[in-house]
């Protein structure tokens, strides 16, 4: 695994640590930021240590990311982001879940896309799953989730 | 196809939005936000007073309690003022003087103008408690100790700028002494624990919780911070009777409100039905069994009470 | 021996039906992501309005017992810990499920739960008066040291790298400070409106554990049929019992740690599992196997979880102080019927008190029976194709995070934390210490602030935090724990360098 790969995450963590320390030592009232100050000092020290190790190329722990992984991950991640940050509220929970579920199944199911049977199967699995979720959350637990399109 | 779906969707939303008029309201279950954790006094009482909401003579739809605890109620009320939908399906429980004191102190996004009161269900005065084997027998003993040891009399309460803190400030002001108020995290239960465990010398707590702890033989109640003695504690004198000029500013009023911007028809309908719902005999029985004093007030009475409380608190908190 | 006299009440038809219903319902609620035992019990309170006091409490007691154990189902099969109590269970339990030993992991967890649970309730029955003094002995300074002790566990919880483990813990401690400061009411690090209420622990748990797993499944891509489907090994209950007896150390450590920690008001339940896991790892000769699907890990974590249930009710039943959020909800269940816990409860309503306690005892056994049955069925989850599994876990995470307090903000926080954790995990950071920081941060901070205030008004900080036998004992344990971690780190470094030199 390349050194750059380790530098980026540890660099981000180090920057976050610095930001936390900056906020903790500048914001008022002092009493409320006493504890964050204590944490941020340890945070910055440990993050600095990790960052330095990554710069020197001495970071060995962790599996890193490979090119194939990123390519595989991208479509699923995109669906997840759209589902969580827009569709769940924009389309309503159950509609969005049905959509996202079906798309994810189609994206990652190894079965052939040309066979009509696989599509029917995916549709049935989606329908059953959404029905179970509706029964569990809407009926049994009476959680009122956002509803926009359909149900 | 997509267009068709979209327009159908629009039509559905338009229909459901426009139909939220008083005649049909409520057509689905209503949610009520409580800004304290499940099991706390406010949560417990809110669950009891709303248990008959589903009856035909009440709302005809059940009310579900949602807890948003944190920072003495600030988290929940901030959410209620800024993010809750003002469509009548999101009610909130208020605690006066808590939210008014917090809004005067600042750092929150709400004030009395952010909410529309509906009705009040309970009034829980603050009381001063000491451990059952404490040497303090009356408020006089407490004040005498505080005068001899300024700033050394530790006493607990459920946070800053809540009813307990207001009572503490009033006691200190009335007696002209300096004591050490220790706010606890975790509400009245944590504050009571520190009294019983002897971590602090005394404490301010809810009458309902203190009454229970006294029944269990763990604490002694020295005084009630209210204008009159409580029906639950006829033998315990008020602060005023013991020579401390403390009024009812710290009494914890609990009730229902909606966010500003809720349709007037909905507010009117709720203002009529909710107090009636509180008057249900089963509700009164359960509240009494739990040691929770009831005090039903209508919308107009609550508006007046909020205004009066705001004026008193502004004066009290001015020096802080 | 008074409790035996009231055993009959538990077995009256209606009571027993409620006990069964509460147990089965509790298992389902507990296995649902996002529903902690506290919420599950709160959901059941309205059902008790119509019942007699004793019967209402049977329902609540059975539900409390089985939700705690039910959380293990989603923790093991889906790697979604339903409540903080189940975090430690995911560490070895889910790894076992991935290896096809899901049935075995579930059976072990339910058997261990039952052993721990029965022991905990027996403690409640026989030692309540002694224990209530013990529960009160912990003041702010002691709770502060206890939280620090929890933080030192972080170093050894993460096997990959001690520095990155500690750094993960620090990130968790920081995340816990986001939102309103609990005592002063000041706003801290609220850089987005969703964070106004702070980071909800349940939503964070779901995100940190489940989302990285979903993304890992995505990253594997469209796999050809059969390549990844694991064969589910059947596992008999008898074999599981034998397995449980093979690890008496983990079972004992788990049960004892859980019982002792469960007693401490305000801290207990959330960290009992993790502390027990850490302790049995330290005392085990097979330390390296922890985290790779080792039965000891599951046994220690789950026996501790359920052992905590009984003792956690001691402060409530004797002193009328709810020591945990779930106890607070149970208090509500008692008050609705006009029963005040404390001496009143045992003197004037012994039937209610003992029926309640007995129902928890029987509930543990019923929970175990149903749990073992569920284990047989649920372990098939491992056979579900990866694409379906990823979609199921993602949707459950969204619903679970939302249902905690009906808030979209929690869903966003859940997804962001999960996304961040996925990338951090690829580089040697881990979720368990981060979560521990998230849980312990507020406990440490609140008790430090409160302790300092009392100290300033009375004896001064130094003598408040550093004197008294309990303080000194806890400080000693903290130092011992740190020394142990450092020693282990040095030793492993020496051996690895030797290996590297050889290679």
The CA distances from residue C431 to A80, B171, B173, C437, in Å, are 20, 48, 50, 10
Across the interface, whether the CB atoms of A100 and C395 are under 8 A apart is answered yes
Which carries the bigger pLDDT value, residue B63 or residue C485? B63
Across the interface, whether the CB atoms of A144 and B29 are under 8 A apart is answered yes
Long-range contacts, stretch B50-58, CB < 8 angstroms, 24+ apart: B50/B277, B51/B282, B51/B283, B51/B286, B51/C46, B51/C49, B52/B277, B52/B280, B52/B282, B52/B283, B53/B277, B55/B277, B55/B280, B57/B276, B58/B273, B58/B276, B58/B277, B58/B280
pLDDT of residue C87: 86
The model's confidence at residue B15, banded by pLDDT at 50, 70 and 90, is very low
Tell me what the mean pLDDT of segment B248-262 comes to: 92
B19, two tokens: 């139909």
pLDDT of residue C88: 87
Closest by CA to C295, choosing from C28, C32, C66, C99, is: C99
Closest by CA to C453, choosing from B99, B127, B160, is: B160
Give yes or no for a contact between C112 and C68, defined as CB atoms under 8 angstroms apart. no
pLDDT in tens, B216-249: 888 999 999 999 898 888 999 999 999 888 888 8
Which residue in chain C is spatially nearest to A37 when comparing CA positions? C174
- Cα separation, C375 vs C371, in Å, equals 6
- Cα separation, B249 vs B237, in Å, equals 17
Pinpoint the alpha helices (H) of B92-223: 98-105, 139-148, 163-175, 187-196, 207-215
Across the interface, whether the CB atoms of C171 and A13 are under 8 A apart is answered yes
Query: Which strands make up the sheet holding B180-183, listed edge to edge?
Result: B180-183, B154-157, B202-206, B126-131, B219-225
End-to-end Cα, chain A, rounded Å: 47
Give yes or no for a contact between C280 and C256, defined as CB atoms under 8 angstroms apart. no
The residue of B11, B64, B83, B106 whose CB has the most chain A CBs within 10 angstroms, and thus the best one to mutate to test that interface, is B64
Give yes or no for a contact between B108 and B139, defined as CB atoms under 8 angstroms apart. no
Chains that touch B (3 or more CB pairs under 8 A): A, C
Whether chain B has a CB inside 8 Å of the CB on A142: the answer is yes
pLDDT of residue C79: 86
Tell me what the mean pLDDT of segment C346-374 comes to: 87
| Alpha carbon C376 to chain centroid, angstroms | 23
Q: How far does the CA of residue A109 sit from the closest CA of chain C (Å)?
A: 5
**Dihedral Cα C463, C465, C471, C477, nearest 10 deg:** -130
Across the interface, whether the CB atoms of A76 and C215 are under 8 A apart is answered yes
**Residues of chain A contacting B12 with CB distance shorter than 8 Å:** 149-150
Whether chain C has a CB inside 8 Å of the CB on A93: the answer is yes
- Cα separation, A108 vs A101, in Å, equals 11
Tell me what the mean pLDDT of segment C106-115 comes to: 92
The residue of B31, B36, B38 whose CB has the most chain C CBs within 10 angstroms, and thus the best one to mutate to test that interface, is B38
Across the interface, whether the CB atoms of B12 and A144 are under 8 A apart is answered no
Residue C14 has pLDDT above 80, yes or no: yes
Closest by CA to B313, choosing from B260, B253, B257, is: B253
Arithmetic mean of pLDDT over chain A:
86
Whether chain C has a CB inside 8 Å of the CB on A52: the answer is no
Tell me what the mean pLDDT of segment C204-227 comes to: 80
pLDDT of residue B238: 92
Across the interface, whether the CB atoms of A149 and B28 are under 8 A apart is answered no
pLDDT of residue C162: 77
pLDDT in tens, C413-465: 999 999 999 999 888 888 888 888 888 888 888 888 888 889 988 888 888 88
Tell me what the mean pLDDT of segment C94-103 comes to: 85
Tell me what the mean pLDDT of segment C65-87 comes to: 85
Query: Strand pairing partners for B224?
Result: B127, B238
Residue B132 has pLDDT above 50, yes or no: yes
pLDDT of residue C304: 92
Residue B5 has pLDDT above 50, yes or no: no
The model's confidence at residue A67, banded by pLDDT at 50, 70 and 90, is confident
- Cα separation, C126 vs C395, in Å, equals 45
- By DSSP bridging, strand B90-96 and strand B252-259 are antiparallel
234-263 of B, contacting C, C-beta below 8 A: none
Give yes or no for a contact between B70 and C409, defined as CB atoms under 8 angstroms apart. no
Which of A70-79, B16-25, B123-132, C460-469 is least confident? B16-25
pLDDT of residue C441: 86
- Cα separation, C79 vs C503, in Å, equals 36
pLDDT of residue C226: 43
**Residues of chain B contacting A149 with CB distance shorter than 8 Å:** 5, 9, 12
Which carries the bigger pLDDT value, residue C357 or residue B6? C357
Whether chain C has a CB inside 8 Å of the CB on A125: the answer is yes
Which residue in chain B is spatially nearest to A148 when comparing CA positions? B13
Which of A131-135, B51-55, B155-159 is least confident? B51-55
C421, two tokens: 């954790």
**Residues of chain B contacting A142 with CB distance shorter than 8 Å:** 29, 62, 64
Across the interface, whether the CB atoms of C395 and A107 are under 8 A apart is answered no
Tell me what the mean pLDDT of segment C75-94 comes to: 85
Whether chain B has a CB inside 8 Å of the CB on A26: the answer is no
Across the interface, whether the CB atoms of A50 and C184 are under 8 A apart is answered no
- Cα separation, A69 vs C345, in Å, equals 61
Residue B21 has pLDDT above 80, yes or no: no
Q: Considering CB atoms only, which of B9, B13, B29 is closest to A142?
A: B29
pLDDT in tens, B197-209: 889 999 999 888 8
Whether chain C has a CB inside 8 Å of the CB on B215: the answer is yes
C10, two tokens: 């538990």
Q: Considering CB atoms only, which of B71, B186, B212 is closest to C180?
A: B71
Whether chain C has a CB inside 8 Å of the CB on A30: the answer is no
Which residue in chain C is spatially nearest to B151 when comparing CA positions? C457
Residue C228 has pLDDT above 60, yes or no: no
Across the interface, whether the CB atoms of C342 and B218 are under 8 A apart is answered yes
The model's confidence at residue C501, banded by pLDDT at 50, 70 and 90, is very low
pLDDT of residue C109: 92
Q: Considering CB atoms only, which of C386, C395, C448 is closest to A108?
A: C386
B155, two tokens: 């006493």
> Interface pTM (ipTM) of the complex?
0.93
At residue C178, the 3 state secondary structure works out as coil
pLDDT in tens, C381-418: 656 788 888 898 899 999 988 888 888 889 999 999 99
DSSP B297: E
Tell me what the mean pLDDT of segment A121-132 comes to: 92
**Residues of chain B contacting C325 with CB distance shorter than 8 Å:** 37-39
The model's confidence at residue B9, banded by pLDDT at 50, 70 and 90, is very low
- Cα separation, C322 vs C255, in Å, equals 22
**Dihedral Cα C76, C79, C83, C87, nearest 10 deg:** 80
Which carries the bigger pLDDT value, residue B60 or residue B38? B60
Whether chain C has a CB inside 8 Å of the CB on B159: the answer is yes
Across the interface, whether the CB atoms of A142 and B9 are under 8 A apart is answered no
The residue of A2, A37, A62 whose CB has the most chain C CBs within 10 angstroms, and thus the best one to mutate to test that interface, is A62
pLDDT in tens, C36-71: 788 788 878 777 777 888 888 888 888 888 888 888
The model's confidence at residue A103, banded by pLDDT at 50, 70 and 90, is very high
Arithmetic mean of pLDDT over chain C:
83
pLDDT of residue B303: 93
Residue B196 has pLDDT above 60, yes or no: yes
The CA distances from residue A146 to A95, A97, B13, B64, C291, in Å, are 10, 12, 12, 15, 39
Whether chain A has a CB inside 8 Å of the CB on B1: the answer is no
Give yes or no for a contact between C263 and C309, defined as CB atoms under 8 angstroms apart. no
pLDDT in tens, C258-295: 988 888 876 766 788 888 888 888 888 887 888 888 99
Pinpoint the alpha helices (H) of C350-385: 350-378
Give yes or no for a contact between B250 and B97, defined as CB atoms under 8 angstroms apart. yes
**Residues of chain C contacting B37 with CB distance shorter than 8 Å:** 325, 328
Residue C80 has pLDDT above 70, yes or no: yes
Backbone φ, ψ for residue C353 (5° rounding): -60, -50
Q: Considering CB atoms only, which of B13, B28, B62 is closest to A148?
A: B13
Query: What's the angle, vertex CA C420, arms to CA C415 and CA C423, rounded to 5?
Result: 130
The model's confidence at residue C313, banded by pLDDT at 50, 70 and 90, is confident
The model's confidence at residue C121, banded by pLDDT at 50, 70 and 90, is very high
Record the pTM. 0.85
26-65 of B, contacting C, C-beta below 8 A: 31, 37-40, 43-44, 47-48, 51, 65
Q: How far does the CA of residue A129 sit from the closest CA of chain B (Å)?
A: 22
What letters, b where the CB count within 10 A reaches 16 and e where it falls short, cover B282-311? ebeebbebbbbbbebbebeebeebbeebbe
Residue B231 burial (CB count, 10 A): 8
Determine whether A147 is exposed, middle or buried from the number of CB atoms within 10 Å of its CB (0-12, 13-18, 19+): middle
pLDDT of residue C155: 64
- Cα separation, A120 vs C472, in Å, equals 67
The model's confidence at residue A85, banded by pLDDT at 50, 70 and 90, is very high
Which of B56-70, C144-158, C386-400 is least confident? C144-158
pLDDT of residue B252: 92
Across the interface, whether the CB atoms of A142 and B12 are under 8 A apart is answered no
Which residue in chain A is spatially nearest to B71 when comparing CA positions? A32
Backbone φ, ψ for residue B290 (5° rounding): -85, 0
The CA distances from residue B303 to B92, B97, B297, in Å, are 16, 13, 10
What is the H or E stretch that residue C485 is in?
helix C469-502
Q: Considering CB atoms only, which of B31, B47, B154 is closest to C454?
A: B154
At residue B295, the 3 state secondary structure works out as strand
pLDDT of residue B1: 42
Q: Considering CB atoms only, which of B9, B29, B64 is closest to A148?
A: B9
Q: Considering CB atoms only, which of C184, C386, C411 is closest to A31?
A: C184
Closest by CA to B305, choosing from B157, B146, B64, B97, is: B97
The model's confidence at residue C189, banded by pLDDT at 50, 70 and 90, is confident
Chains that touch C (3 or more CB pairs under 8 A): A, B
Tell me what the mean pLDDT of segment C238-258 comes to: 88
Tell me what the mean pLDDT of segment A76-103 comes to: 93
Residue C90 has pLDDT above 50, yes or no: yes
The model's confidence at residue B20, banded by pLDDT at 50, 70 and 90, is very low
Give yes or no for a contact between C239 and C376, defined as CB atoms under 8 angstroms apart. no
């Amino acid at each position: 695994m390349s050194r750059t790969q380790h530098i980026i995450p540890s660099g981000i963590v180090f920057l976050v640590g610095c930001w936390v320390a900056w906020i903790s030592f500048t914001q008022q009232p002092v009493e409320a930021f006493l504890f964050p100050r204590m944490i941020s000092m340890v945070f910055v020290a440990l993050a600095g240590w990790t960052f330095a190790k990554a710069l020197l190329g001495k970071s060995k722990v962790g599996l890193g990311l490979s090119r194939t992984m990123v390519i595989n991950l991208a479509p699923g991640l995109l669906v997840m982001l759209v589902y969580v940050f827009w569709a769940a509220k924009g389309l309503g929970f159950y509609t969005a879940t049905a959509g996202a579920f079906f798309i994810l199944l189609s994206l990652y199911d190894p079965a052939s896309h040309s066979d009509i049977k696989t599509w029917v199967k995916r549709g049935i699995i989606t329908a059953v799953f959404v029905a179970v979720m509706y029964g569990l959350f809407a009926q049994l637990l009476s959680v009122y989730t956002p509803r926009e399109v359909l149900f | 196809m997509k267009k068709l779906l979209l327009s159908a969707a629009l039509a559905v939303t338009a229909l459901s939005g426009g139909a939220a008029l008083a005649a049909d309201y409520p057509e689905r279950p209503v949610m009520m936000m409580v800004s304290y954790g499940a099991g706390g006094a406010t949560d417990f009482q809110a669950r009891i007073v709303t248990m008959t909401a589903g009856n035909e003579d009440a709302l005809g739809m059940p009310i579900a309690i949602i807890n948003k605890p944190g920072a003495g109620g600030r988290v929940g009320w901030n959410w209620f003022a800024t993010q809750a939908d003002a469509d009548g399906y999101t009610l909130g429980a208020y605690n006066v003087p808590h939210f008014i004191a917090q809004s005067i102190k600042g750092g929150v996004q709400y004030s009395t103008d952010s909410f529309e009161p509906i009705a009040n269900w309970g009034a829980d005065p603050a009381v001063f408690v000491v451990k059952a084997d404490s040497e303090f027998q009356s408020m006089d003993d407490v004040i005498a100790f505080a005068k001899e040891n300024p700033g050394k009399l530790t006493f607990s309460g459920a946070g800053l700028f809540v009813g307990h803190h207001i009572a503490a400030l009033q006691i200190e002001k009335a007696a002209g002494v300096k004591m050490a108020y220790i706010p606890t995290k975790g509400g009245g239960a944590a504050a009571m624990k520190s009294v019983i465990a002897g971590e602090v010398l005394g404490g301010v707590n809810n009458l309902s919780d203190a009454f229970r702890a006294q029944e269990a033989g763990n604490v002694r109640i020295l005084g009630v911070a209210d204008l009159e003695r409580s029906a639950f504690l006829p033998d315990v004198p008020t602060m005023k009777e013991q020579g401390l000029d403390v009024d009812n500013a710290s009494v914890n009023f609990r009730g229902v409100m909606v966010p500003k911007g809720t349709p007037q028809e909905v507010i009117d309908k709720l203002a009529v039905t909710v107090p009636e719902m509180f008057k249900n005999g089963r509700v009164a029985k359960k509240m009494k069994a739990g040691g929770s004093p009831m005090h039903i007030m209508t919308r107009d009475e609550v508006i007046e009470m909020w205004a009066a409380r705001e004026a008193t608190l502004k004066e009290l908190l001015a020096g802080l | 021996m008074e409790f035996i006299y009231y055993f009959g009440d538990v077995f009256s038809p209606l009571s027993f039906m409620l006990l069964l219903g509460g147990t089965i319902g509790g298992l389902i609620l507990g296995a649902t992501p996002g529903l902690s035992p506290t919420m599950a019990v709160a959901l059941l309170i309205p059902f008790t309005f119509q019942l007699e006091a004793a019967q209402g409490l049977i329902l609540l007691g059975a539900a409390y017992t089985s939700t705690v154990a039910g959380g293990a189902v989603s923790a093991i099969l889906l790697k979604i810990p339903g409540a903080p109590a189940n975090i430690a269970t995911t560490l070895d339990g889910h790894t076992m499920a991935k290896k096809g030993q899901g049935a075995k992991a579930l059976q072990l967890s339910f058997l261990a739960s039952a052993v721990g649970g029965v022991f905990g309730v027996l403690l409640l029955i026989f030692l309540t008066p002694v224990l209530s003094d013990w529960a009160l002995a912990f003041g702010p300074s002691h709770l502060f040291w206890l939280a620090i002790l929890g933080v030192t566990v972080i170093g050894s919880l993460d096997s990959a790298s001690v520095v990155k483990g500690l750094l993960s813990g620090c990130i968790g401690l920081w995340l816990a400070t986001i939102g309103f400061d609990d005592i002063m009411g000041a706003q801290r690090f609220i850089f987005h409106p969703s964070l106004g209420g702070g980071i909800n622990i349940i939503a964070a748990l779901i995100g940190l554990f489940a989302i990285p797993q979903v993304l890992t499944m995505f990253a594997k891509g469209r796999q050809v049929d059969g390549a990844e489907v694991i064969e589910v090994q059947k596992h008999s209950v008898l074999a599981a019992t034998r397995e449980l007896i093979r690890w008496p150390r983990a079972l004992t450590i788990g049960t004892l740690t859980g019982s002792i920690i469960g007693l401490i008001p305000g801290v207990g339940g959330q960290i009992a599992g993790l502390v027990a896991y850490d302790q049995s790892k330290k005392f085990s000769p097979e330390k390296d196997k922890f985290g790779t699907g080792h039965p000891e890990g599951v046994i220690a974590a789950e026996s501790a979880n359920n052992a905590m249930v009984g003792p956690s009710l001691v402060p409530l039943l004797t002193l009328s102080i709810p020591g945990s959020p779930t106890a607070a909800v149970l208090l509500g269940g008692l008050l609705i019927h006009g029963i005040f816990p404390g001496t009143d409860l045992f003197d004037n309503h012994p039937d209610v008190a003992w029926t309640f306690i007995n129902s928890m005892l029987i509930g543990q056994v019923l929970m175990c029976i149903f749990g073992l049955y569920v284990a047989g069925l649920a372990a098939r989850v491992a056979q579900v194709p990866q694409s379906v599994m990823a979609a199921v876990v993602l949707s459950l995470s969204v619903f679970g995070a939302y249902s905690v307090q009906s808030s979209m903000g929690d869903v966003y926080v859940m997804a962001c934390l999960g996304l961040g954790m996925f990338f951090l995990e690829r580089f040697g950071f881990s979720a368990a210490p981060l979560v521990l920081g998230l849980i312990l941060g507020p406990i440490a901070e609140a008790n430090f602030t409160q302790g300092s205030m009392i100290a300033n008004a009375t004896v001064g900080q130094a003598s408040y935090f550093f004197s008294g036998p309990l303080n000194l004992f806890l400080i000693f344990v903290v130092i011992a724990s740190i020394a142990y971690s450092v020693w282990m780190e040095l030793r492993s470094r020496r051996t690895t360098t030797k290996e590297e030199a050889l290679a």
